[in-house]
Copies of this chain bind each other. A is one copy, B any other.
Amino acid sequence: MNNEQSNFLSHGCPVCVSAEEQILDLLDQKNVDLEIVHFAEAKGRIGEAQNLGVKSVPALVTNGQVLHINFGASMEDVKKAVGVA
Q: Is the CB of B28 within 8 A of A26?
A: yes
Q: What's the tally of chain A residues with a CB closer than 8 Å to chain B?
A: 21
A25 is an interface residue with CB less than 8 A from chain B: yes
* B residues near A29, Cβ cutoff 8 Å: 28
Instruction: Judge whether A79 is part of the interface by a CB distance below 8 angstroms.
Output: no
* Beta-carbon contact of B19 and A26 below 8 Å: no
Cβ–Cβ < 8 Å partners of A25 in chain B: 62
CB pair B67 A23 closer than 8 Å: yes
Chain A 50-83 interface mask (CB, 8 Å, partner B; 1/0): 0000000000101001111111000000000000
Please report A residues at the B interface, Cβ cutoff 8 Å. 6, 18-19, 22-23, 25-30, 32, 60, 62, 65-71
